[in-house]
Amino acid sequence: MRPTVLAALVPALLAAPCALRAQAPAQPAANAAAKAAAAPVVLPGGWSMRLDRDGANTTALRFFTAGTGLHATTGPSAIFYDATMTAKGAYTAQATFTQTKAPAHAEAYGLLFGGSGLGGPQQQYFYFLVRGDGHFLVKHRAGSEVHTLKDWTAHPAITPADAAGKATNALRVRVAADSVRLDVNGTQVFALPKVDADGIVGLRVNHQLDVHIEGLKVTPATGK
């Protein structure tokens, strides 16, 4: 009986490696996809990036210099900053944003200010955003917590996206001794009471957007 059993097992044993070889390509393909998702994003010199969600797929994310400005294509939502671009006391931070095409649904872009610890667990910053449907938002992030200071609000100063999804809006943050005033296209849309706005100034671009940024700068207040 023993030779008969062995004879029956031999074809099955010989077939097993073939089956394993047929399944083998799936693992390298999965590994390649994981590596692509985790691939580092090349940034302009001096710039850093932080995703809202660690491990988010960055294969479509780009941030680069373009002409005299910067260009962001997301991807997951992220902040972008140069840690040397800081402000203290009374100052103005500003930039002009052009959404170049329509996202799948309204998403936001804008300025961050008062940033600190942006690469670590105790990150802190305020952000002032607009989106293509003519609304703005103001929030504060502290570590893993996000505090809404002004929920989505429509304002006529904001240029909404046109039929092609394009819109240009100039955002400005004016930090004074008694308040922080937030402007769109030269018109104040909201004001915060005095907060600690010392720190890094940078950009926030939410997911699945294509945005060009011009004129990002920080100017100390004069005559103070």
Q: What is the pLDDT of residues 45-84, one digit of tens each?
A: 999 999 999 889 999 999 999 999 999 999 999 999 999 9
**Residue spans per domain, the chain:** 1-37, 41-220
Q: How far apart are CA 36 and CA 30, in angstroms?
A: 10
Phi, psi of 44 (to 5 degrees): -60, 155
106: tokens are 């309204």
**Alpha carbons 209 and 77: distance in angstroms, whole number:** 9
Tally Cβ neighbours within 10 Å of residue 190: 17
Which among 52, 97, 94, 98 is positioned nearest to 75, based on CA atoms? 52
Mean pLDDT, rounded, for 90-108: 95
Residue 208 in contact with residue 103, Cβ under 8 Å?
Answer: yes
25 confidence band (pLDDT: 50, 70, 90): low
Lowest mean pLDDT among 35-39, 89-93, 115-119: 35-39
pLDDT in tens, 109-153: 999 999 999 999 999 999 999 999 999 999 999 999 999 999 999
Topology adopted by domain 41-220: Jelly Rolls (2.60.120)
What does pTM read for this prediction? 0.83
Residue with the two structure tokens 């609304």: 135
Looking at residue 33, the DSSP 8-state letter turns out to be H
